[in-house]
Structure 1
Amino acid sequence: MTSTPGMSQTDVVVQGIKKIIVDGRLKAGDKLPIEKDLAEEFGVSRGSLREGVRALSIMGVLETRQGAGTFVTALDSSLLLAPMGFVVDLQDRAGAAYLHTVRRVLETEAAALAAVQIDENALRRADAILRRSEEQLSQDEPDHEAVLEADIAFHHLIAEASGNPVLVALIDALGTRTIRLRLWRSINQEGADEATHGEHRAVLEALAAHDPDRARVRMAAHLFAVEDYLHTRNPSPEALSPEPLPDLREPV
């Protein structure tokens, strides 16, 4: 393989293996050729080859099995997009707001798709999730961790019901638990939990009616409420900082 000027040997390996997979010489589940042959094909040292393989393993493209060799993974979307979650978690306050906007665009369309395809079993599970939130919100001191977990589960279920695994992976990557906590902690309005729960119920009603337009609008309204609050209140950098903070308020 001919390297581009300025490209490191590790990059040559990464691009070379990617090309082999794209060209169909290697498919999901296939074992890589022996190290000596690959190093010669790419014109790199064995050390650089190992570095490239390690990088692709971190990306979820390859996996090394002890005593068996290195294999192409299933190339599943959720696996390949998982590293995006790390990038999302490292965003600052402004970056988090931009990510939320992208998430809102994706989730509104996921809700519309889900309204067409969701089955009764998924609707029952979604209702059970919201009932768990209701139980917590009825307590004098709700377990905000439990409310957050229910919120994550509800949004994930809708994404799955869209029937598009790439969309699911993108939404999960953009809405990591860490970024949700930061957004949640930045919104401390009285009654925010209850308002969010009502918005979730409205989304579920649209899904149960199999009305894609209504589902799209109600999901957008739910996520716009968070987005508008972030823009109008302009929370301090500390509110979206990675350090643990004690209070949890609105699920997002």
Structure 2
Amino acid sequence: MALTDEAIDRIKAMLVSGELQPGERLPKEEVLAVQLGLSRSSLREAVRALTAMRILVAKQGDGTYVSSLEPHLLLESLSFVADVSQGEAAMQLLQIRRLVEPQATAVAAARISDAEVASLREVLAASIAADNLDEFIRLDCELHRRIALVVGNPVLSLLLEILSTQTQRVRLLRGTRVGPAIEDVHREHTAIVDALAARDPQLAAAAATVHVAAVERWLAVDGD
């Protein structure tokens, strides 16, 4: 194991054990290095890496602190990965989405209110009426965001948003025959919203699966 990785693991162990708490200031570098049995250079590299991951926060002139460790902070690096992923990496992210999103949609079908159904139909109608690609993509994102919110799990909502970012959608749709692709999306979105309105979890999950599988096919064709 590289010395930096070892340093990261030791700091992680302090977080897991509760020895370091969210918002707590790290001991001074020389003290922490001795405490963990590490060189100061290895510790410094580990702190840089953990800061990039938003686990630690450097405050100029005041030292380094443990972040709030809120999921939205820790998932930000994954958001960047999703935006820049292409080819096989992008396909792998979509495969994860296909495992997660249908189940989330099924849960939403069991919980959705009349007002939430009406809200989805408004977004769907606006999406169908959109006269440019950017507006369509914005409304596409919004429709999926509102469905995820019905589940009531902010971490799940954020994860689904990351797995299908706006940047990814732009790249994907611009690599396909846009007109037919958007028509397919409208049909798939309508099927999802209808299943949610019917409060049918199995149908909602099936409709979401069809939709994400179609996106996978577009990506596969675009990558050929």
Which residue does the alignment assign to 1:76?
70
Instruction: Report 1:206-217 matches (<5 A).
Output: 206-217=195-206
* Counterpart-to-counterpart distance in 1, 2:73 and 2:180: 37
Q: Deviation at 1:32?
A: 2.0
Query: Match for 1:162 among 129, 151, 155?
Result: 151
Query: Match for 2:51 among 29, 46, 57?
Result: 57
- After superposition, what is the alpha-carbon deviation per residue over 1:201-233, rounded to whole angstroms, capped at 9, x for unaligned? 2212222332211211111122222334444xx
**RMSD (Å), alpha carbons:** 2.3
Q: Deviation at 1:76?
A: 2.0
Which residue does the alignment assign to 2:124?
130
Please say if 1:193 is aligned against 2:182: yes
* Counterpart-to-counterpart distance in 2, 1:16 and 1:125: 48
> Could you tell me whether the CA contact under 8 Å between 2:191 and 2:207 is conserved in 1?
yes
> Could you tell me whether the CA contact under 8 Å between 1:12 and 1:42 is conserved in 2?
no
Decide whether aligned partners of structure 1 residues 118 and 13 sit closer, same or farther in structure 2, where only a CA change above 3 A counts: farther
* Counterpart-to-counterpart distance in 1, 2:153 and 2:16: 22
User: Quick one: percent identity of the two aligned structures?
Assistant: 38
Decide whether aligned partners of structure 1 residues 125 and 34 sit closer, same or farther in structure 2, where only a CA change above 3 A counts: farther
Q: Deviation at 1:63?
A: 1.3
Decide whether aligned partners of structure 1 residues 129 and 74 sit closer, same or farther in structure 2, where only a CA change above 3 A counts: farther
Decide whether aligned partners of structure 1 residues 227 and 65 sit closer, same or farther in structure 2, where only a CA change above 3 A counts: same
Q: How many pairs are equivalent?
A: 224
TM-score w.r.t. structure 1 length? Answer: 0.78
Unaligned runs of 5+ in 2: none
> Could you tell me whether the CA contact under 8 Å between 1:117 and 1:163 is conserved in 2?
no
Instruction: Report 1:89-168 matches (<5 A).
Output: 89-136=83-130, 142-168=131-157
Q: Deviation at 1:191?
A: 3.4
Structure with the higher helix share, 1 or 2: 2
Q: Deviation at 1:196?
A: 1.0
